[in-house]
Structure 1
Amino acid sequence: MTHRDVVFPPGRQALYERNRYSPAIRSNGFLFVSGQVGSREDGSPEPDLTRQVRLAFSNLNAILAEAGGSFDDVIDVTVFIVDPQTRFEQIWSVVQEFWGEAPHPTVTAVGVTWLYGFDFEIKVIAKLPEADKD
Structure 2
Amino acid sequence: MAKRDVVFPAGRQDLYDKHKYSPAVRSGGFLFVSGQVGSREDGSPEPELEAQVALAFRNLNAILTAAGCTFEDVQDATLFMIDPEKVLPVYFRAAPPEWLESPYATLTAVGVTWLSGFQFEIKVIAKLPPESRGTSA
TM-score range, shorter chain: over 0.9
TM-score in terms of structure 2 length: 0.91
- Asked if structure 2 preserves the Cα contact closer than 8 Å seen for 1:29 and 1:131, the reply is no
Partner in structure 2 of residue 4 of structure 1: 4
Partner in structure 1 of residue 120 of structure 2: 120
Unaligned runs of 5+ in 2: none
Partner in structure 2 of residue 32 of structure 1: 32
1:99 Cα offset (Å)? 1.0
1:100 Cα offset (Å)? 4.3
Q: Distance in 1 between matches of 2:16 and 2:67?
A: 16
- Asked if structure 1 preserves the Cα contact closer than 8 Å seen for 2:57 and 2:96, the reply is no
Q: Distance in 2 between matches of 1:12 and 1:132?
A: 21
Task: State, as a whole percentage, how many aligned pairs show the same letter.
Answer: 62
Q: Deviations over 1:60-94 (max 9, x none)?
A: 00000000011110000000000112222122222
Partner in structure 1 of residue 23 of structure 2: 23
Moved more, 82-91 or 51-60: 82-91
Partner in structure 2 of residue 130 of structure 1: 130
Q: List, as ranges, runs of 4+ consecutive aligned residues in structure 1 with deviation greater than 2 Å.
A: 95-98, 131-134
Q: Deviations over 1:32-53 (max 9, x none)?
A: 0000000000000000101101
1:29 Cα offset (Å)? 1.1
- Asked if structure 2 preserves the Cα contact closer than 8 Å seen for 1:32 and 1:125, the reply is yes
- Asked if structure 1 preserves the Cα contact closer than 8 Å seen for 2:33 and 2:124, the reply is yes
Q: Distance in 2 between matches of 1:13 and 1:122?
A: 19
TM-score in terms of structure 1 length: 0.93
Q: Give the paired residue count.
A: 134
Unaligned runs of 5+ in 1: none
